[in-house]
Amino acid sequence: MKPASRAGAWLAIALGSLYFLLPLIATFEFSLRMRRESYSLEAYRVVLTDPGFQSAFGYSILMALLTVITSIVLVVPTACWIELRLPRMRPVIEFITLLPLVIPAIIIVFGYLRLYNSSSWLPLTGNERATDLLLICSYVTLSLPYMYRSVHSGLRAIDVRTLTEASESLGAGWFTTLAHVIAPALKSAILSGSFLTFAVVIGEFTMASLLNRPAFGPYLQLIGANRAYEPSALAVIAFLVTWASMGLIQVVSRNAAGAGAKRRLPGA
Amino acid sequence: MAFLDIAHVGKTFGAASVVNDVNLAIEKGEFVTLLGPSGCGKTTLLRMIAGFESASSGSIHIDGHDVTLQRARQRRVGMVFQSYALFPTMTVADNIAYGLKIAREPKSAIAERVEQMMKLIRLSQHAQHYPWQLSGGQQQRVALARALASSPRLLLLDEPLSALDAKIRVALRDEIRALQRKLGITTLFVTHDQEEALSLSDRVVVMNEGRIEQVGTPFEIYNFPRTRFVASFVGTLNILNSRVLDEASGLVEVDGQTVTVARLRRSGHGERTLALRPEAVVLESPLAGRNSLMATIEEVNFLGSVVRLRARLQETVLSFDIFNDPGQTLPQRGSRVALGFSHDNLLELEAS
């Protein structure tokens, strides 16, 4: 019974791995075949030296960083406030933060276009900077589930209420407590949320494309429609960025766990 | 007005009344304990004094100032929590310095004060350690130093020892008391542990269901409980339901047998609740001038240095302890014995 079920488990793992890895390996292999005679990184050289790639990738990184900053500023105080003062609102906020997972991006962006088009009461699509702002807002919405989830679980792990009270009884106001006590204690949770947000935003296509902004996602699509080997190279690059973000989350959360695991020195 | 003056303070959460018309006056330098079972309102009362909860009614004065409507951060009250609540990303020294930094004390003064506090709690060598590197007892000492560093007017301790091991609990208990005496700081300590309350305090406030049952020195609370609740919560008191036979001589009837009560509190006939400490009861044949009750032994528990016995009259069950003595034979279960105690040992409790 035992060996049979173990063999079944390994079979499932093998099939799963093939399902996920085969396309990746194939894409990678294909991206190396730009030169007929041998494997080379020619496709990567072409892509990386393309000014279009540089500007699109740079633009997406900038948007991602601004999104991360905005969502930290928005989510951290909100989550603390909910935890401390309005625990009854928690289910409502959780519902709201999960909505972007359920509502397709295209619906959100169409909503934006209806609300903020150039003939509306707040025309944000009229010039590029305003559209960038709209794009950042839409990215903040899109990444809300990830940022809120990780901050919320971070808050759960520390006793915010008592820490806040301790800080208050020592004379600190709300902002001081947030900046000096709670935010540092949430550092690893905030970083995890940030990397996730970064990974989600860097390759996002729908929002950027429909708002007509020169981001990495639309560039990927454009190259994909016109070239043979470069899209594969770009896909591998996009995967690497995502994996780097995931790896950093692991590093950050392992450090936090390590601090907890090393508890207690000898002596009372 | 007393240093800490609590007048008619009440707290309601929705329809539930958690603290009910509490009046308490605490003098400067006193160590007072709020003692009671969980849910009796002692922690809520403490949190209202700290400013974490607002009082639904009544007023709180500290050192002559009305603080009822002040925020916690304005009250200059030091607080120590059961869970230590040390700031996890700060070192021991930074934790202690936190309140002083917020008060914008000069850097040199902060360094000096932190140094002094760490010496006081004997953790100078751990100045650069983080809370997670310390044991529970050490963490609580840091929390104590942090609360005391900015010289608060009042020190509040919310079950600070409950999360610690038994041995460390006793050691830290003595340390808290010694520190409090040294600094002369007015202290309010919340606990559900009667031993802690009796051993630490100048005065004990026994609370039940949001009300104060009795305020007194540990000696008074233990020896002269006023209500049935205090009697049963502090120590293991035997409760006897009795009926007055002769008011002048204090003769009462318990389960068909008569005993004498030295002092009856109230006049008139009828039912009275009496309390009897287990340590007052001895096995002895009836003696003139002492009470004697015939009872049947129900249970014999050999605990080592003492033997705890349980005996039944009819309805009434009495627990009492005798010292272990290898030379004596223990009474058997089911045997009839005579239990003796003095007239003074029977305490009449207030009707509840």
ipTM: 0.80
Domain ranges of chain A: 22-255
Partner-chain contact A172 B102, CB within 8 Å: yes
With an 8 Å Cβ cutoff, is B212 touching chain A?
Answer: no
Q: Give alpha helix (H) positions in chain A.
A: 2-31, 42-49, 51-84, 90-102, 105-116, 128-157, 160-169, 174-177, 183-185, 187-202, 206-210, 216-226, 230-261
| Residues B115, B128: Cα–Cα separation, whole Å | 12
Q: Helix or strand or coil: residue B325? A: coil
Partner-chain contact A265 B88, CB within 8 Å: no
Q: What is the pLDDT of residue A188?
A: 86
Domain ranges of chain B: 4-227, 236-348
Partner-chain contact B129 A181, CB within 8 Å: no
Residue of A nearest to B89 (CA): A185
Residue of B nearest to A182 (CA): B87
Instruction: Count how many pairs of residues, chain A against chain B, have C-beta atoms within 8 Å.
Output: 88
Nearest to B143 by CA among A268, A262, A166: A166
Nearest to B132 among A172, A181, A260 (CB): A260
Partner-chain contact A165 B129, CB within 8 Å: no
With an 8 Å Cβ cutoff, is B73 touching chain A?
Answer: yes
H or E stretch including B243?
strand B238-246
> Which residue type, as a one-letter code, is found at position B316?
T
Q: Is CATH 1.10.3720.10 what the domain over A22-255 is classified as, yes or no?
A: yes
Give me the average pLDDT of each 10-residue run along chain A (268 residues): 76 93 92 86 89 92 95 92 88 91 89 85 82 92 92 89 93 91 90 91 89 90 88 90 87 65 40
| Fold type of domain B236-348 | OB fold (Dihydrolipoamide Acetyltransferase, E2P) (2.40.50)
Instruction: List strand residue ranges (DSSP E) for B14-70, in order.
Output: 16-26, 31-35, 57-62, 65-66
Q: What is the pLDDT of residue B268?
A: 74
Give me the average pLDDT of each 10-residue run along chain B (352 residues): 92 91 94 93 94 93 93 92 92 94 93 93 92 92 94 94 89 92 94 91 94 94 88 84 87 90 79 88 88 92 88 91 85 91 88 63
> Which residue type, as a one-letter code, is found at position A249?
I
With an 8 Å Cβ cutoff, is B147 touching chain A?
Answer: yes
With an 8 Å Cβ cutoff, is B138 touching chain A?
Answer: yes
CA distance B178 to chain A (A): 18
Q: What is the CATH architecture assignment of B4-227?
A: 3-Layer(aba) Sandwich (3.40)
| Residues B206, B192: Cα–Cα separation, whole Å | 10
